Amino acid sequence: MAFEPVLSRNFNVPGSQSIDVYRQRGGYRAIAKALEMGRDAVAEEVKKSNLRGRGGAGFPAGTKWSFLPPNRTVTYLCVNADESEPGTFNNRYIMELDPHMLLEGILIAGYTTRATIAYIYLRVEYHKAYRILQKALEEAYAANLFGKNILGNPDFSMDCYIHRGAGAYVCGEETGLIESLEGKRGWPRIKPPFPAIAGAFGKPTVVNNVETLSCVVPIIDRGAAWFASIGLPPASTGPKLYTVSGPVKRPGCYEAPLGLTVRELIEGKDFGQGMQDGKKIKAVIPGGLSVGFLTSDELDCKLDFDDPRKYGLLGLGTAGAIVIDESVDLRQVLMNIARFYSTESCGQCTQCREGTMWIYKIARRIASGTGRLEDLDLITEITATMGMMTGRSICGHADGATFPLKTLIKKFRLDFENYIRNQKGVAEVIAAQ
Amino acid sequence: MAWQVINREIAAAPADGKPLLTEEVKAKIARFFPKYETRRAVLIPALHVVQETFGNVSYQAMKEIGEFLAVPPSEVLDTMSFYSHFWTGDRGRKVIVVCRSLSCQVMGHEALLEALRRHLAISEHETTPDGQWSLMTEECLGACEHGPCMLINERLHAKVRPDDVARILADPNCDKE
Ligand SMILES: Cc1cc2nc3c(=O)[nH]c(=O)nc-3n(C[C@H](O)[C@H](O)[C@H](O)COP(=O)(O)O)c2cc1C
Ligand code: SF4
Ligand code: FES
């Protein structure tokens, strides 16, 4: 049976950004239903759907909401629209093509968690999404969907503001985001306390990704049981917006149930449609840069919450695949990744700051043609000493650096050994020295 | 971005010490006050307003923002210098930001950069002598399906080939949607 689009169902509809079209297509029905159901029933429904966070960590949304202390007076909802993970752009599709779906998700989550203000933390580079969201918010306010006594409900008032970021990857990390929201540098906080207890301005705060919140709409509209029947239950339920980029015929954002294989995403006729100009796949990052690399023999990996780990990856990540073809020099790839994590490290933790910088230096040495075979072990060793998983960092940035670096060296070791033995550098790197 | 601070030339406060923040600019900033619990939280919105108005955030501006928000100017600098989107020095009227992350690299961002360097006769992090263009690079712009891509001010240019550079830059509206 063909999969019926859920999150992308309005993407190709003319005028999909307007509240009228959104309403004609059944929009804002779910928030009305949620208000009738009441907070506890909605929370229960989201839990039953087993919706897991789409921002990278995969934490169950209903459980996260239940961590809020019961006797709180103020609650904030932070919508994570910082989307800066290389290879990832599904949040942008939602915000540019169906902004009201996100707003409705914010409303349902805000109602359920008793949030009084929702901040959409939007990366500054998303200028188009900013304009579209602003307009959608105006329309929603005019329809009494935000503000006081929403839809006439005396027990539900909430404002929603867009807070623009200013160019910093680490502000996508939930506590970095909160610090940045408070007007500070985006330095992730030591946890606990978790945001649910003390988040923005020290108040209980829920941080959720744009796609996670969008999923709440169909869960309420069509029921948790229906949602949980999609994908690979019980661990990986629901639809997912996958992205694929690199030299495939049709790079873009496509929806399918959780559990699509990497091969289908790259080659399927409804997805990437295979490689351009007869190019051959060398390596794939299947879930945003931080999850790590697959070889061309590992394309049967399923994009769900479990399978990627079997291939030595960090996890599902954001399900944003970057395809690398055989013509690409892997030393360039190594340097690019090392530079990314080094320049985007916030610098608080020694292992992350120094480790990523030293790996970048080693990567440059390898690329310039003067690398040594021991350098490969050195990189692997450094990656083993950083990250939350090894208990040596404040946030997941260092883990995110570890996985692509170590899997690249491990899975393509022979290529790197050959590069090093040949002692011929990458022209651009030598020129830049 | 990060602890590695890139390309921040020092722009001295104007010697006459005349205030930069007009009432109009302050009013724009003040519109953010009701949205946050603290004045400090208005800092990043204020920096956006100031940079959009003056083209940069000078030390004089930082001082005045600090006064207006009751935040020490040193902390204004502390916050501001963390983010790659704010700059103290002059930048060109049109700022080109080329994505340099993995997907765009695989699709040929280096050839695009080289074409831009040649066309403008400047390197990364530089501004043309006539003050028209600055050439910057940034990590993933969230438009990887369009790689190699670049922003010119607020407009995204998708799948830019080296041969397209002259044509795109000749368009006076290349920075507007
Ligand atoms: C370095 C780093 C960057 C992150 N960037 C993002 C991001 O851009 N968007 C996002 O939704 N989550 C990002 N996350 C994950 C968030 O910390 C958090 O898990 C997520 O926003 C929670 O929302 P969810 O449960 O709905 O997925 C990042 C995490 C780390 C460690
Ligand atoms: S792990 Fe890296 S990015 Fe995260 S807090 Fe530590 S230094 Fe900053
Ligand atoms: S890698 Fe260039 S936009 Fe994402």
A271 within domain boundaries: yes
Q: How far apart are CA A105 and CA B173, in angstroms?
A: 36
B155: closest chain A residue by CA: A127
Confidence at B15, pLDDT banded by 50, 70, 90? low
Task: Give me A369's structure tokens.
Answer: 């043609």
Specify the DSSP class assigned to residue B51. H
Is pLDDT of B6 > 90? Answer: no
Closest-CA residue to A422 (of A381, A383, A385, A367): A367
A310 within domain boundaries: yes
Q: Helix H segments across A50-167?
A: 61-66, 90-97, 99-113, 127-142
Whether residues A47 and A179 fall in one domain: yes
Whether residues A276 and A349 fall in one domain: no
A11 within domain boundaries: no
Q: Indicate the class that CATH gives domain B94-170.
A: alpha beta
User: Domain with A401 in it: what CATH number?
Assistant: 1.20.1440.230
Q: How far apart are CA A274 and CA A297, in angstroms?
A: 15
Q: Which amino acid is at B168?
A: I
Whether residues A346 and A309 fall in one domain: no
Q: Which amino acid is at B11?
A: A
Which residues contact ligand 2 via a Cβ below 6 A? A 170, 188, 345-349, 352-353, 393-395, 397-398
Q: At what angle do helices B23-30 and B59-69 cross, to 10 degrees?
A: 50
User: Domain with A121 in it: what CATH number?
Assistant: 3.40.50.11540
Number of domains in chain A: 3
Is pLDDT of A34 > 90? Answer: yes
A2 within domain boundaries: no
Domain residue spans of chain B: 23-82, 94-170
Whether residues A258 and A360 fall in one domain: no
Whether residues A121 and A251 fall in one domain: no
Q: Tell me the three-class secondary structure of A63-81, residue by residue.
A: HHHHCCCCCCCCCEEEEEE
Q: Helix H segments across chain B?
A: 23-30, 43-54, 59-69, 73-80, 102-106, 109-120, 165-170
A7 within domain boundaries: no
A178's enclosing H/E stretch is: helix A174-181
pLDDT for the residue A431: 67
Q: Where among A270, A295, A325 does a domain terminate? A: A325
**Contact present, A262 and A299 (Cβ < 8 Å):** yes
Is pLDDT of A312 > 90? Answer: yes
Q: Where among A229, A255, A271 does a domain terminate? A: A229
Ligand having the closest approach to the CA of B104: 3
**Which chain B residues are closer than 8 Å to A167 by Cβ?**
1, 83-85, 138
Q: A242 alpha carbon to ligand 2 midpoint, in Å? A: 27
pTM: 0.96
Whether residues A262 and A209 fall in one domain: no
Whether residues A179 and A319 fall in one domain: no
Say whether A184 and B40 touch across the interface (CB within 8 A).
yes
Segment A190-209 shows an average pLDDT of 97
Whether residues A338 and A421 fall in one domain: yes
User: Domain with A311 in it: what CATH number?
Assistant: 3.10.20.600
Domain enclosing residue A270, as ranges: 238-325
Task: Give me A417's structure tokens.
Answer: 């050994």
Whether residues A205 and A244 fall in one domain: no
Is pLDDT of A378 > 80? Answer: yes
Segment A65-85 shows an average pLDDT of 97
pLDDT for the residue B13: 53
**Contact present, A186 and A176 (Cβ < 8 Å):** yes
Task: Give me A311's structure tokens.
Answer: 């291939």
A74 within domain boundaries: yes
A60, β-bridge pairs: A52
Under 8 Å CB-to-CB from B173, ≥6 apart: which residues? none
Task: Give me A139's structure tokens.
Answer: 């329309």
Is pLDDT of A75 > 90? Answer: yes
Q: Which amino acid is at A64?
A: K
Q: At what angle do helices A210-222 and A29-37 cross, to 10 degrees?
A: 70
pLDDT for the residue B14: 56
Under 8 Å CB-to-CB from B102, ≥6 apart: which residues? A86, A87, A285, A289, A322, A324, A333, A336, A337, A340, B140
Which residues contact ligand 1 via a Cβ below 6 A? A 53-57, 59, 80, 82-85, 170, 172-174, 207-209, 212, 395-397, 400
**Contact present, A203 and A30 (Cβ < 8 Å):** no
Each residue's pLDDT tens digit, B95-152 = 999 999 999 999 999 999 999 999 999 999 999 999 999 999 999 999 999 999 999 9
Q: At what angle do helices A90-97 and A99-113 cross, to 10 degrees?
A: 100
Is pLDDT of A11 > 90? Answer: yes
Q: Which atom of ligand 2 is nearest to the CA of A388?
A: 1
**What CATH number has the domain spanning B23-82?**
1.10.10
* Residue of B44, B102, B141 lying closest to A125 (CB–CB): B141
Whether residues A209 and A262 fall in one domain: no
Q: Where among A229, A255, A285 does a domain terminate? A: A229
Residue pairs between chains A and B whose CB atoms are closer than 8 Å: 167
A290 within domain boundaries: yes
Each residue's pLDDT tens digit, B162-172 = 999 999 999 99
Whether residues A85 and A199 fall in one domain: yes
Each residue's pLDDT tens digit, A345-358 = 999 999 999 999 99
Is pLDDT of B7 > 80? Answer: no
Task: Give me A55's structure tokens.
Answer: 């921002």
Segment A358-377 shows an average pLDDT of 96
Segment B69-86 shows an average pLDDT of 95
Residue tagged 């006594």 (tokens): A149
Segment B45-59 shows an average pLDDT of 94
Cα-flanking dihedrals φ and ψ of residue A137, to 5°? -65, -40
Segment A174-190 shows an average pLDDT of 98
**Which chain A residues are closer than 8 Å to B69 by Cβ?**
183
Confidence at A244, pLDDT banded by 50, 70, 90? very high
Is pLDDT of B10 > 50? Answer: no
A81 within domain boundaries: yes
Whether residues A248 and A310 fall in one domain: yes
Each residue's pLDDT tens digit, A268-311 = 999 999 999 999 999 999 999 999 999 999 999 999 999 999 99
Task: Give me B97's structure tokens.
Answer: 């930001």
Q: Which of A243-257, A419-433, B15-29 has the highest mean pLDDT?
A: A243-257
- Residues of A (76-95) whose Cβ lies below 8 Å from B: 83-89, 91-92
Structure ipTM: 0.95
Q: How far apart are CA A158 and CA A140, in angstroms?
A: 12
Confidence at A172, pLDDT banded by 50, 70, 90? very high
pLDDT for the residue A426: 81
Q: How far apart are CA A271 and CA B150, in angstroms?
A: 24
Q: Give the mean pLDDT of chain B.
A: 91
pLDDT for the residue A423: 79
pLDDT for the residue B16: 63
Each residue's pLDDT tens digit, A112-163 = 999 999 999 999 999 999 999 999 999 999 999 999 999 999 999 999 999 9
